[in-house]
Each structure stands twice: as structure tokens, then as C-alpha cells.
Structure 1
Amino acid sequence: MKRIEWREWTGFLNEVAEAAGKIGSPEILWYRGVTSGNHTLRPTLVRFANGVTKERELFERFNQIARGSEFGLVEADEWDILFQMQHFGVPTRLLDWSEVFGIAVFFATLASREPNDSHIYVLNPRRLNEKAGKETLLDDFDRKDFRYRSVFWEGKPFKPTVPIALDPVHSNSRLAAQTGRFTVHGVDLRALEEIAPDCVQRVKLPKEAFPAAYEFLRLAGINELRVFPDVGGAAPFIRSLVGLV
């Protein structure tokens, strides 16, 4: 086995711990891995110049297509539909997070034949919700009083400015496998790190640490099939098993 140099990796872990301290050292931390320093915490919908103006049409079109089909949304509520939109790559106000640090590392190092420095975002979701005026824990949000269309389209019972952290029901296998969590942007369309800098920190994962990161993922059993537990995850997992380069 090729010898792994762990120095850069342990330095990265120390920086993650320091980042958690800067946002209050909360009991619950959420993580997001990105492959480029150019990625900011802005959801796909708001990256389009006309994204917000097309939000309703995107939702209704997806709802029309998905109801009664193999999408399995016959009994779904508005939030389930939105989570499925995110799952299938339709632009939404949502940003994906995970409670599992290793999942973020996986996405930060995904498909990197010639890797550049990646980054891990570390979020204090409770503090973020406190800034948004929500005192309850994220997974206790009441769907009847906090409906997606009412809140984000009509501003009833309030119109959020600060992004809100949501702990969804795991409505599909990938969301469950990735211990998926979401933040949902409101009126302020700037990047989350600009809106709430005291709630989130970004830590660089240097490319020199990637060999150790891959070994960490191997030891933790985090691979394509674990993160994408369906046919889509099988092919890259098999390629890695047989050693294709």
C-alpha cells in the first residue's frame, strides 16, 4: 500500500475544529463540501437572472409531471415536492447540507482526476434559525403553519429574510444515505456567508491532503454506492473497485 502523508489532513481537521469554535461550538453542525473556491452558498434558483420570477412555474410544472408517476409523489406535500425537485436537479431555493462530516469530504473530493483545492463549509443551523426568528429546533418545524408556497411566495405568516435551516423527512434513498439537511433562502438572495457570517465558516481542503482524504473515506466506508444507493451510484463504485484510472 502506498504510504499516506497525513500532515496536511490533520492540519485541515484542526482548521475544521477552529471553524466550529468561531460559530459557537454547537452540538449540531452541518457540513457542505464544494470542489471549487468559486462556489458560494447561493442556491441554484438564485444563480439564474430570472430564477425567482420563474420559481412558481418550475414548481407547478414539476408538480404536474411528478404527480401519479414513478416519482412517488401522489401523497406528497409542498415540502416533499420541493425536496424531490432538488433531488432531481430542478433549480430551487434549497442548499444541500449533511450532518455527517465524511459526506461533505466525499463531495469536496468527488471526481477529481487533477484536483485543485476544495472547501468544506461548517454551519451552525440553530444560530441561523435564531437569526431568522425561529426558536424551535429545525426538525420540529410545523408544515401546516409553515407552508412553502404561503411563506416564500405570499409572505404568510411572515416573509423570511435570513435563510432557514430545515431538517427534512428523508423522502428518497439518497437523502437518507447522505443524512441530508437543507437551508432555504428567503428574500435576501446574497450568499449565506454574506447574510450570516457568524453562522458559517469555510475551510480549505488543500489538494495535498486529498490522498489522506481518500484513505479516510475508504476507512469510513463512504463511497459512491454508500452516498448514491441506487443504480446511479453503482457504476462509479464498480469502476473504483476494479481500479480503472
Structure 2
Amino acid sequence: MREVRPRSWNELMDVLHGESWNPDLNRFRSPYVFRGQGHDAPLTTSLQRLAGNTRDIERHLVRAFRKYAEANVRTRDLLWYWLSLGQHHGLPTRLLDWSYSPLVALHFATADEDHYDQDGVVWMVDAARTNTRLPQALRDLLDREGTSVFTVEMLEMLSAQGRDGLAFDTELTWLDRFEDEMGRPFLLFLEPPSLDQRIVQQSALFSMLSDPDADLEAWIRAHGDAVQRVVLAAELKWEVRDRLDGSNITERTLFPDLSGLSQWLRRYYRRREDAPPDAALPPQAQRRSPDDPQDER
């Protein structure tokens, strides 16, 4: 796995947008999906952070969520819709959030100023390469659809094959069957339905390991040819944050409701208390003394 530590905004952009040229299309289309973290936290799912047997807990969580959420939402009665909806609203699931956008990933790596004294990280995964480790039936389905990311409808097709009345809360058993055939866990990416504008604005997608107990970071490190780990140095965070704000990558646009608006305003108008040393500033931002001659206008 390649790990890089950009020293400037320009270097950071070069890394995040690297390998984007697609000669088949004659267009810039990055093969990567991105995940930003404000500090070097493990790549664990919210389900794994609960105590107990993840498979048993998952079954109970999804069944209860579906039961009580039906009074508030109307969605297709498919497991993958309920998992996507639950993940979107904070339910512990085996899914992990990613984005097609490197700038959205940078937002989440710089959104919490409590972590500005620590290095952040942006994970870059080439989904097309990780798909080569999928079971053949899943690769064939992606090839037929001409995509590298599954939709809920595509996964429902796999769930339904040979199901014959399988109970709703055991529709994930096909993952176990394919995993047994492979002899190891596999990773797939799921594009959720556009449940609301947050998913759309964040260019969101989810990753999912076939084994909900498996360590995603260990899996990624074992398949390092498809992964880059970009370290966002603590000393770069303020500049990155300010440049994102100037590019309209903020809570107001990524969480388009009143809560997102309030989060953005609270953060945007917070005064920075730690002034950087003059030597750390770009030339145009360095402070002049009162006695310095001013450029003639």
C-alpha cells in the first residue's frame, strides 16, 4: 500500500486527482473512491464498535429498525434499502461511508477542529481493482451492468436467487455462501438510493465486507496495490479547511437542511485562536510590519 504525505495544497491536489485520466473515454474520471478521517482512527464499522456477536446483533437491529421506521418512511421493502436508510440515519450497520469526491473526503477530514492537532487521513481505494477479488458471479454481474459499484437492485437480484421464501432477516446468507466458495472475505462497494439530498450532495457510497467481523484495514493492507493512504498533516488542516470553504464544500451544501446550515455557520465564524508563525504562511499571507514599504498601487 502506498502512503504519501503531501506538503502543500498543490501536492495534495496532485495526489488526490492522480491517475484520473481515462484513455478509453478521453476524459478525466478517477478510478478511486475516497474516505476522509480527522485522525488516524481504525477502519471499523459502527456495527463492529458494538459489543457482542455482530451477525446476531445485525439481524435484531435491522428487524427492529424496519418495524419502527415504517411509520415514518416509505421505501421499497428490500433489505438493502433498509440497510442504506439505517446507515444514513446512524443505525449501526456493516456499511462504511465513502465518497466519489476527494473534496468531500477532505471535508470530513477537516470538519472537527478538535482534531486539528492530529494528522488526518484520506483513504483512496480503486474499486475496479478490488473487484478482481470478488466471486465470479459478482464480477459477471458488474460486467453485464458496465459498472464497478453495486446498486441495491443488483444486490437484491443476488439475494433473491434460490431464496424461495427466505426470511427477511437472513437475506445476507448469500454473502456467506460466496465467502465459503472464495475461502476468504471479499469487499464490495454499494451505491445507495437517493434517499435524500445529503446522499446526493456528498456523492456517497458504502463499502461492505462479506464478513461483518472482518478487519477492513487488514483486508486493505493485504491488497495494497489498489489502495493509497494520504496523510493530511496537522499543519495543513487550516489551509485545507479554508480552501474548501472558499470552494463551497461545507456543511451547508453537504447537509442541506437547517442543522447543516447551523453547523456551517458555527464553524465558519469561529475565530482561530492559534496564529501560525509567519514563516509557515504563504508569501501573500505573511504579515508586514508597519515600517515595511508598501507596494505602490
Match of 2:131 among 122, 125, 129: 129
Q: CA deviation at 1:65?
A: 0.8
Q: Counterpart amino acid of 2:61?
A: L
SS in 2 for 1:46: coil
Aligned 1:22-61 pairs, distance under 5 A: 27-37=30-40, 39-50=41-52, 51-61=54-64
Structure 1 segments unaligned to the other structure (5+ residues): 1-5
Distance 2:17 2:57 in 1: 40
Contact 2:62 2:169 in 1 (8 A): no
Aligned 1:119-158 pairs, distance under 5 A: 119-133=121-135, 134-135=138-139, 136=142, 137=147, 138-139=149-150, 142-147=154-159, 152-153=172-173, 155=175, 158=178
Match of 1:233 among 260, 282, 295: 260
CA deviation map 1:99-127 (0-9, x unaligned): 01110000001121451110000011122
Q: Counterpart amino acid of 1:11?
A: E
Contact 2:36 2:106 in 1 (8 A): yes
Q: TM (normalized to structure 1)?
A: 0.82
Structure 2 segments unaligned to the other structure (5+ residues): 1-5, 22-27, 160-167, 273-297
- Root mean square deviation of aligned Cα: 2.9
- Distance 1:19-1:46 versus aligned 2 partners, 3 A rule: farther
* 1:64 pairs with 2:91: no
- Distance 1:109-1:241 versus aligned 2 partners, 3 A rule: closer
Max radius of gyration: which structure?
A: 2
Distance 2:50 2:201 in 1: 29
Q: CA deviation at 1:57?
A: 0.3
Residue 283 (structure 2) aligns with: none
Paired-residue identity, %: 24
Q: 4+ residue stretches of structure 1 with deviation over 4 A?
A: 17-21, 148-151, 154-157, 241-245
Residue 214 (structure 2) aligns with: 189
Match of 2:201 among 168, 171, 177: 177
Q: TM (normalized to structure 2)?
A: 0.69
Q: CA deviation at 1:62?
A: 0.5
Q: Counterpart amino acid of 1:152?
A: L
Residue 221 (structure 1) aligns with: 248
Residue 281 (structure 2) aligns with: none
- Distance 1:242-1:9 versus aligned 2 partners, 3 A rule: closer
Q: CA deviation at 1:215?
A: 2.6
Contact 1:33 1:121 in 2 (8 A): yes
- Distance 1:111-1:44 versus aligned 2 partners, 3 A rule: same
Q: Counterpart amino acid of 1:145?
A: M
How many equivalent residue pairs?
A: 234
